[in-house]
Structure 1
Amino acid sequence: MILIANSEAWPGFARTVAALKAGTYGIDAMIEGIAEVEREPKVRSVGYGGWPNMIGEMECDAGVMDGTTREVGCVGAVPSTIPVAALAREVMRRLPHVMLTGAGARRFADECGFARDDALFPDSKRVWWERLEQELSPEERAKFPDIPLAPLNHTITDPERVRDTTVFLARDAAGGTHAVTSTSGWAWKYPGRLGDSPIPGAGFYADSRYGAAACTHTGEMTMRAGTARSIVLGLRMGLSLIEAVDLAVADVRDLTAGFIGALVIHAIDIHGNHRVVALNCHEPIRYWLWHPALAAPEHREAEHLTA
């Protein structure tokens, strides 16, 4: 068994470890832990503690993948919902679809019995509006949000405020290798924006025959490069985990146009190896690791790479 997650997973990592030790199916174990992260207001990138879109509405994204069956469930831009990873799990369980977004995802949540949450943390609302006021004229403030939003996108949208999507990767006692993600996305993003967190192959991918990968930070890059799938495909082609991650990093480094930012890649293989690399990150990046040889989860520093 093995479990890795990004640093922001601290509220729920130990709970997932305990569930894995008890033999719980990997996705269910990870959703138990991520639910704690989603409810924790001190985590400012996921769930209740996250940041709203440009017009002050919370839109959260999540994805789950069963590496044994390669079934996937994803939700994107979901309003009024904090446990979005659990909702993604229900998409995988109950529907022939892979992804639901927006109002349709919330309708499905109602059918599944999910409460309608007040998802906007008061401090997030305060910071959002104070920042917006700096950019709007008195006339625009009077009409807001019924004004053109695209001109604000380059001055208001703040990918740097949200440092870490929550990503969990596990190999469970049954030998299944799985992935779960959850995020509120960029602060003050254009309404309806999806990052890589709910996109299989970009922000996450798992295959119990080879391994799994998941990404945080700049999803616009990993969607263009298919980063998570590239790593698992590299493992399938016989590369070591180090080589597979290096291959994916090289693809990202080749991007020269569009939005370029920081990226963190988390990856495991079926042999118990793991690797976490931080590309273009200007601050230390840490992650959580547990496997049965460790007495307790360890908070380790990622390998830092430059452009």
Structure 2
Amino acid sequence: MIAISNNEGGSGIGATARELLDGARALDAIEAGVRLVEADESVRTVGRGGWPNLLGEVELDASVMDGSTLRTGAIGALGGYLHPISIARQVMERLPHVLLVGEGARRFAAEIGAEAGELLMPHARTAWARWFADEVGEADRAAWPDVPMAELCKQAIDPEIGRDTTVLLAQDKAGHIGAGTSTSGWGWKYPGRLGDSPIIGAGSYADTRYGACACTGVGEMSIRAGTARAVVLYMKMGMSVEEAVHEAVDDMRALKGGLIGRVTIHAIDAAGGHKVVAVNGMPENHYWLWREGEAVPASHPAEIIAISDDPAPKPTAHRRYERLGL
């Protein structure tokens, strides 16, 4: 048995490990762990307490994938509900579809009785208000929200800043493999933006025969490269998990133009091996790992590989205000 998560998953992976030890299936253990991260208001990129979009609204994305059936469910741009991972699970269980977004996702969440709640916490509300006052011109403030937002989005979001998610990959006692992701996405994003988290094959993919992969960071890069599916496919072709992740990193080197920033690739194989690489990462890039026989999950540094000339981060509005304690 094995479970792996990114740094933001620290509040959830312990529960996932305990569930696996108690005999839970991989996907059940993953959902239990991700729900705890979604409820952790100290995590600023997932669930309740996540950063809002340009309108000051928190929109959530999530996905699950069962590697034994290749069934999946995902939701995107969902507001007003506390546990998008569980709603994504119910998309998989109850619908013939695999992805719901926006109003459709909200309708479905209400239909199944999902837990509703306020997502915008005081720290995020204050930071957004400061950004609005400092960065939006007087004329646009007067006409808000009926103003062009594309340029505001470009000014507010620095693609060099890592945009995190929580991801969990696990293999249970029976060898079943699953994947789960959940995120509030970029702070100050254009309303309706979807990253890679709800895009199966980009942000996550699981196949019990070979392994699983999930990505965090600049999701636009993982979408363009089809990273998660590529890693699993490379393992299917006979590569080791380490070789597969490195091959996917090489795929990212082909990306030209657009948003080029940080992406961390997390992968496990069917034999219980794992590999984590932080593309354009920083020394603080760590991940959580638990394996059968270990008492608790432990934090480990990711391998760092640079594929751009200037991966250093620059502060954005919400990061500046975060440093001020807002």
- TM-score over 0.5 (shorter chain): yes
Deviates more, 1:186-195 or 1:134-143: 134-143
Match of residue 3 from structure 1: 3
The alpha-carbon distance between structure 1 residues 163 and 153, as it changes in their structure 2 partners (threshold 3 A), is closer
Match of residue 312 from structure 2: none
Match of residue 172 from structure 2: 172
2:94 maps to 1:120: no
Match of residue 228 from structure 1: 228
Match of residue 277 from structure 1: 277
Match of residue 13 from structure 2: 13
Deviation digits for residues 117-160 of structure 1 (CA, Å, limit 9, x no counterpart): 11111110110121122221222111111111112111013556
Match of residue 138 from structure 1: 138
Percent identity over the alignment?
50
Structure 2: where are the runs of 5+ without partners?
308-326
Q: Does the Cα contact within 8 Å between 1:158 and 1:187 map onto a contact in 2?
A: no
Match of residue 72 from structure 2: 72
Tell me how far 1:11 sits from its aligned partner: 1.4
Tell me how far 1:282 sits from its aligned partner: 2.9
The alpha-carbon distance between structure 1 residues 162 and 279, as it changes in their structure 2 partners (threshold 3 A), is closer
Q: Does the Cα contact within 8 Å between 1:161 and 1:187 map onto a contact in 2?
A: no
Structure 1: where are the runs of 5+ without partners?
none
Q: Does the Cα contact within 8 Å between 1:213 and 1:267 map onto a contact in 2?
A: yes
Deviates more, 1:271-280 or 1:157-166: 157-166
Match of residue 49 from structure 1: 49
Q: Does the Cα contact within 8 Å between 2:210 and 2:235 map onto a contact in 1?
A: yes
Amino acid at match of 2:268: I
Amino acid at match of 1:47: G
Summarize the alignment of residues 139-288 of structure 1 with structure 2, pairs less than 5 Å apart: 139-158=139-158, 163-288=163-288
Secondary structure (helix, strand or coil) at the match of 2:11 reads coil
Cα distance in 2 for residues equivalent to 1:283 and 1:191: 32
Cα distance in 2 for residues equivalent to 1:48 and 1:285: 23
Amino acid at match of 2:205: Y
Secondary structure (helix, strand or coil) at the match of 1:289 reads strand
Tell me how far 1:161 sits from its aligned partner: 6.0
Q: Does the Cα contact within 8 Å between 1:169 and 1:177 map onto a contact in 2?
A: yes
Q: Does the Cα contact within 8 Å between 1:181 and 1:197 map onto a contact in 2?
A: yes
Cα distance in 1 for residues equivalent to 2:158 and 2:129: 13
Deviation digits for residues 164-222 of structure 1 (CA, Å, limit 9, x no counterpart): 20000000112111100000000010000000000000000000000000000010001
The alpha-carbon distance between structure 1 residues 283 and 49, as it changes in their structure 2 partners (threshold 3 A), is farther
With the length of structure 1 as denominator, give the TM-score of the two structures. 0.97
Cα distance in 1 for residues equivalent to 2:210 and 2:99: 24
Amino acid at match of 2:10: W
With the length of structure 2 as denominator, give the TM-score of the two structures. 0.92
Secondary structure (helix, strand or coil) at the match of 2:88 reads helix
Deviation digits for residues 230-272 of structure 1 (CA, Å, limit 9, x no counterpart): 0000011111111111110001111121110011000000111
Q: Does the Cα contact within 8 Å between 1:73 and 1:98 map onto a contact in 2?
A: yes
Cα distance in 2 for residues equivalent to 1:224 and 1:177: 25
Root-mean-square deviation (Å): 1.2
Q: Does the Cα contact within 8 Å between 1:57 and 1:79 map onto a contact in 2?
A: yes
